[in-house]
Amino acid sequence: MKSVGVAILGFGVVGSGTYKILRDHREFYRRTQNIDVTVESVLEINRQKALDLGVEESRISDNIAEVISNPNVDIVVEVIGGVEPARSFVLAALHSGKTVVTSNKELFCKHWHELEAAARRTNAGLYFEASCVGGVPIIRTLIDGLQANVVTSLTGIINGTTNYILTRMTREGSDYRSVLKDAQALGYAEANPAADVEGYDAAYKLSILASLAFHTKVPLETVYREGITEVSGQDIAYGDELGYVMKLLAIGKNDGGKSIEVRVHPAFVRKDHPLAAVSDSFNAVYLQGDSVGDVMLYGRGAGALPTGSAIVSDVIYAATHSDVKYATFKNEEKAESGVKFVTNFRSRYYIRFTAKDRAGVLAKVAGIFAKYNISIAELIQKGEDAENLPIILITHETNEFSVRSAVEKIGALENVVSVDSVIRVEG
């Protein structure tokens, strides 16, 4: 039976969850995987945190050099988060020939090329299943499950915090700020929630997933990003009436590897779409392959045990596979020169504006849309007795830049009080 020694860098929520899984399932892995996995070292400044979970004091360290030099450590698990000191620690482990497993999407998204170059030099393993979508095995599916396919698109709900907030706003008619406070109290959102609610977390993950799915480097700066901070309960309610649910979507589309579209933003999806039913803190990724057709993976996108499950999956995979795999594309800091990233993407649009109850307003709006070759699929006028009327339009599929130009012109019309919302409609 093969013995495998693991070091865990960081003993927070995910690190402690990983330790519990490895400790509690040790005999199970011995029986089913023919490996004996032990935690040989834990890097943690708060020693008591590790002691409380039963880690032997002799195996607790606050010195990365001591951890890396331990001959009993074969695999280093990094769950510190952020870029530094995680980057330096992971590079030290790779330079010493240790296999690394990480859950750190920001680090991996921004420095994947650098980490892989270090891993290649020492033929070390580099695994990152837990970096995207928590316990959902999306990385392994893309690498080892869909190789037969050209993946043409992926659409995902890949941030649990924003999905929880939007679900609550939809069910209860609550406003964004009150639900955010609840999410923070429950531990779903950080005290500074910007990474989640502004879409950065989803953008990190989409950069990684799109690179794998489309076999070409998709740098973070190519991902269009909008968060949910401006989403209103009023629009969610209007969308519900029209048969839509609001989600923060991560969308990637591939036109043969030469044209890539990657964007993160709030969007309406039809209630009969599989992603519409993904609620609370759950995540899902909806994939389309040219041979397999539609595939959807669903599960918990965060948490100690779901994320720990993905980490331990990588540990077991690394321990039971002698061949090391790296990226299937030229993995450098920037994208390859021949790849075009689409910015003027196509979508349908929900547009809400407020206008004075005057004759000819809608005719002028329709004229502006016609100028930009935008056709209207639905038009609803609310509050017939009011001086200022909310008007909602849903367009047929059109170009992003055309909508931006048209909205700017509409906002300048004499009897238009305000353009209140522009939300893309997908699926």
Q: Which residues are catalytic, by number?
A: 205
Looking up tokens 């290649």 gives 120
SS3 content of the chain, % helix, strand, coil (to 5): 40, 30, 30
Closest CA to 186 of 252, 263, 281: 281
Q: Which residues are within 8 A (CB) of 325 and not within 5 positions of it... i.e. 6 or more apart?
A: 143
The torsion region of residue 222 among left (phi > 0), alpha (psi -120 to 50) and beta comes to: alpha
Given a contact cutoff of 8 angstroms between Cβ atoms, the answer to whether 318 and 75 are in contact is yes
C-beta separation of 361 from 368 below 8 A: no
What residues are paired with 36 via a beta bridge?
A: 3
Which residue type does 96 have?
S
Q: How many CB atoms lie within 10 A of CB 380?
A: 13
Contact 254, 149 (CB under 8 A): no
| Half-sphere exposure in the Cβ direction for 289 (13 Å, CA) | 14
Q: Are 285 and 146 in contact (CB under 8 A)?
A: no
Which amino acid is residue 270, in one-letter code? R
Nearest to 391 by CA among 417, 368, 367, 370: 417
